[in-house]
């Protein structure tokens, strides 16, 4: 990625990538959030695993239960993805002038991705707080029946009313850590896998170039997504607990929360929701990258 990026087009391509991510990944995300909330509580395991949790949601709420909280996710993810890909492309372009090379440059990719991740965390934190609070409520008899919010807007308004404007930014520090570190890992993996695959496939394959590009996009985006979540899932577990806690005085220190989870449930507790997260990470991020790269081509942005 790079070359002569043209301002707003980078952001439009990112927006389309965000929409593709939500359509593909939101059901897995709902399962992940329910596991993180209800399986880390002191009174024990509510769900036996990702499949059991999915089956419970489908049984009690149908398919719409898997897309609970998707409205705020669509708005948040479209805006956030637009910013992330746009900032990453622009920052990378401005840094790349110093390092002219066809190979991926970690000294360009890592700061560009971490900067983009830090900026989007301010957009992502409120939208994820609303999404998570919507996702953990429901009609499943295994957990306390709580339908405190009738819609994402109702959730946001009630949160602000009871906790003040800062309440909607609960978990902001943890979100910033997750996004800056996670995106540095994601884009490094994506750029490196993309570079290595193009190197081998362009020499060895007689398939049309667009088929190669789609295949490379699927693999590099999918593996990038798995790398992202493998690196930052414990921070995500802490973020879910911080954002869905009904106790306003509970700690917002992610390391303190992870320490207490580790004491109670070991390492597996810190990686709660790993199954649906990894299953979601590949198709959702593959869809995002393929959509992004396709949009970049259609909008006429040059790629290196």
Pairwise CA distance, residues 100 & 167, whole Å:
45
List pLDDT tens digits, range 173-189. Answer: 999 999 999 999 999 99
Query: Is residue 156 domain-resident?
Result: yes
Residue 303 domain-assigned (yes or no) = no
Measured in whole angstroms, how far is the alpha carbon of residue 206 from the centre of its chain? Answer: 35
Nearest Cα residue to 42 out of 274, 257, 271: 257
Average pLDDT of the chain is 86
Q: How far is CA 233 from CA 57, 138, 199, 226, in A?
A: 22, 24, 31, 10
81 phi, psi to nearest 5 deg: -65, -40
Domain count, the chain: 1
Kindly state the percentage of the chain with pLDDT values over 70: 88
Q: Tell me how far apart the alpha carbons of residues 49 and 277 are, in angstroms, rounded to a whole number.
A: 12
Query: Which segment of 33-37, 49-53, 138-142, 158-162 scores lowest on mean pLDDT?
Result: 138-142
Terminal Cα-to-Cα distance of the chain (whole angstroms): 5
- The per-residue pLDDT for 211 is 78
Structural domain includes residue 122: yes
Structural domain including 59 reads 8-298
- For 74-131, the DSSP string reads HHHHHHHHHHHHHHHHHHHHHHHTT---SS--HHHHHHHHHHHHHHHHHHHHHHHHHH
35 pLDDT more than 90: no
Task: Quote the pLDDT of residue 3.
Answer: 44
Task: Of 134, 264, 118, give the one whose Cα is nearest residue 184.
Answer: 118
Tell me if 229 sits within 8 A of 281, measured CB to CB. yes
Indicate the range of 3-12, 43-52, 228-237, 286-295 predicted with least confidence. 3-12
The span from the CA of 182 to the CA of 21, in Å, is 16
Q: What CATH number is given to the structural domain containing 223?
A: 1.50.40.10
Residue with token string 């989870």: 261
**What confidence score (pLDDT) does residue 42 get?**
58
Distance CA 252, CA 169 (A): 11
Mean pLDDT of 284-295: 94
Q: Quick one: tokens of 77?
A: 């993810």
Angle at 62 between CA 225 and CA 59, to 5 degrees: 105
Mean pLDDT of 139-148: 61
> Cα dihedral sign for 171, 135, 190, 296?
negative
Instruction: Answer for the pair 39, 284: CB distance below 8 angstroms, yes or no.
Output: no
244 in any annotated domain: yes
**1 lies in a domain?**
no
In a domain, 257, yes or no: yes
Residue 3 lies in a domain: no
Across 269-281, average pLDDT: 87
Asked if residue 177 belongs to a domain, the reply is: yes
Residues 6+ apart with CB under 8 A from 240: 33, 36, 37, 132
What are the pLDDT digits (tens) for 75-87?
A: 778 888 999 999 9
- Rounded to an integer, the average pLDDT of 55-64 is 87
Q: What is the reported pLDDT for 171? A: 94
């Amino acid at each position: 990625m790079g070359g002569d990026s043209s301002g707003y087009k980078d952001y439009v391509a990112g927006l389309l990538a965000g929409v593709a991510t939500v359509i593909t990944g939101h059901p897995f995300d709902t399962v992940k959030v329910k596991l993180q909330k209800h399986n880390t509580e002191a009174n024990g395991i509510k769900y036996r695993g990702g499949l059991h949790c999915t089956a419970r949601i489908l049984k009690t709420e149908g398919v719409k239960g898997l897309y609970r909280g998707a409205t705020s996710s669509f708005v948040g993810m479209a805006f956030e993805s637009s910013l992330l890909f746009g900032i990453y492309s622009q920052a990378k372009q401005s840094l790349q002038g110093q390092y002219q090379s066809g190979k991926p440059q970690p000294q360009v990719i890592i700061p560009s991705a971490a900067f983009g991740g830090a900026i989007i965390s301010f957009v992502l934190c409120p939208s994820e707080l609303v999404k998570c609070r919507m996702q953990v409520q429901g009609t499943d008899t295994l957990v306390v029946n709580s339908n405190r919010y009738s819609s994402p807007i109702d959730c946001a308004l009630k949160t602000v009313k009871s906790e003040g404007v800062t309440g909607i930014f609960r978990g902001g520090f943890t979100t910033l850590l997750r996004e800056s570190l996670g995106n540095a890992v994601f884009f490094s993996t994506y750029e490196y896998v993309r570079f290595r695959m193009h190197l081998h496939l362009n020499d060895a394959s007689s398939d049309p170039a667009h088929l190669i590009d789609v295949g490379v996009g699927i693999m590099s985006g999918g593996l990038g997504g798995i790398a992202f979540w493998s690196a930052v899932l414990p921070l995500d577990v802490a973020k879910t607990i911080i954002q869905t806690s009904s106790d306003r005085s509970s700690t917002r220190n992610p390391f303190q929360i992870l320490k207490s989870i580790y004491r109670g449930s070991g390492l597996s507790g810190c990686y709660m929701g790993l199954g649906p997260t990894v299953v979601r990470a590949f198709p959702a991020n593959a869809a995002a990258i393929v959509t992004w790269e396709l949009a970049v081509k259609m909008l006429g942005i040059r790629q290196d």
